[in-house]
Amino acid sequence: MGVGIHSGKESLMAMTSAKPLPSQETLNALLRYEPDTGKLFWRRRTPEMFSGRGRGGAVGMCNRFNAQWAGKEALSAKSNSSHCTGLLLQTPQMAHRVIWKMVTGEEPAGIWHLNGDGTDNRWSNLKAHHKGQTPKRPVGMRRSRKPGIWWNGECQRWVAMLGEEFLGTFDTIDAAVDARLGAQEARQTERTVANPTGEAGQGECDLRIGAQ
């Protein structure tokens, strides 16, 4: 497989919808996870992992990647929603989603950071919830008068939710509200593009199946 070479330090826009992830096997071949620190690191790669269409062919591409990135922290840029993120195989991904699939093989509807810190990806701080399941509210959380906005007393930050999706933690309630409104608009746009007739039909089901 061809691979993209990225440090995870790019400035990326916050993602409001989950992108399909590579297989658990592929993720663990590309990355190493430290559950006690929550950090991800690039693994050394082998020539067969590259397309060979670059300078020096697969061997040259492999050598350059390993010299520059192997062993360095991956997916460590901070997104607008205060999560660790970066490019993986040329696709923006949230680190906590990558970690969950690396460990469990699953892609849940959402993942809570129990202490409210979206950059703290220690395994003990992550909790998944699935579609149709109401996520358990972390200790110290109380609902505000704004829909989908909570106050986390433990970390003294505002938390934004859109249904079952955890959008991040924010310094001010206005920033949390803006993030939720942006996520709502993005979700509506995606639904319109995927199903322009407004009908729930086979096309949407095919799209979801194809993304597995």
For the domain that residue 109 is a member of, what is the CATH number?
A: 3.90.75
Q: Would you say residue 202 has pLDDT above 60?
A: no
pLDDT of residue 184: 86
Tokens, residue 142: 């109380």
Report the C-alpha gap between 160 and 166 in whole angstroms: 6
pLDDT of residue 190: 66
Residue 192 domain flag: yes
pLDDT digits (tens, 9 = 90+) for 17-64: 467 899 999 999 999 999 999 999 999 999 999 887 767 788 999 999
Q: Would you say residue 210 has pLDDT above 50?
A: no
Query: 71, 102, 130: which is the final residue of a domain?
Result: 130
On whether both 126 and 164 belong to a single domain, the answer is no
pLDDT of residue 12: 31
Tokens, residue 194: 């995927």
Report the C-alpha gap between 94 and 99 in whole angstroms: 9
Give the pLDDT band (50/70/90) at residue 140. low
pLDDT of residue 143: 78
pLDDT of residue 26: 95
Q: Would you say residue 211 has pLDDT above 70?
A: no
On whether both 148 and 111 belong to a single domain, the answer is no
Beta-carbon count within 10 A of 149 CB: 20
pLDDT of residue 15: 37
Residue 85 domain flag: yes
pLDDT of residue 38: 95
Give the pLDDT band (50/70/90) at residue 167. confident
pLDDT digits (tens, 9 = 90+) for 146-165: 888 888 776 678 888 877 56
pLDDT digits (tens, 9 = 90+) for 66-117: 999 999 999 999 887 678 999 999 899 999 999 999 999 998 878 888 877 8
Buried/exposed code over 151-172 (b: 16+ C-beta within 10 A; e: otherwise): bbeebebbbbbbeebbbbbbee
Q: Would you say residue 178 has pLDDT above 70?
A: yes
On whether both 147 and 122 belong to a single domain, the answer is no
Residue 146 domain flag: yes
Give the pLDDT band (50/70/90) at residue 191. low
List the domain range (segments joined by +) for residue 157.
140-200
Number of structural domains, the chain?
2
Query: 88, 104, 130: which is the final residue of a domain?
Result: 130
The DSSP 8-state label assigned to residue 150 in this structure reads E
On whether both 155 and 186 belong to a single domain, the answer is yes
Q: What is the largest CA-CA distance in the chain?
A: 59
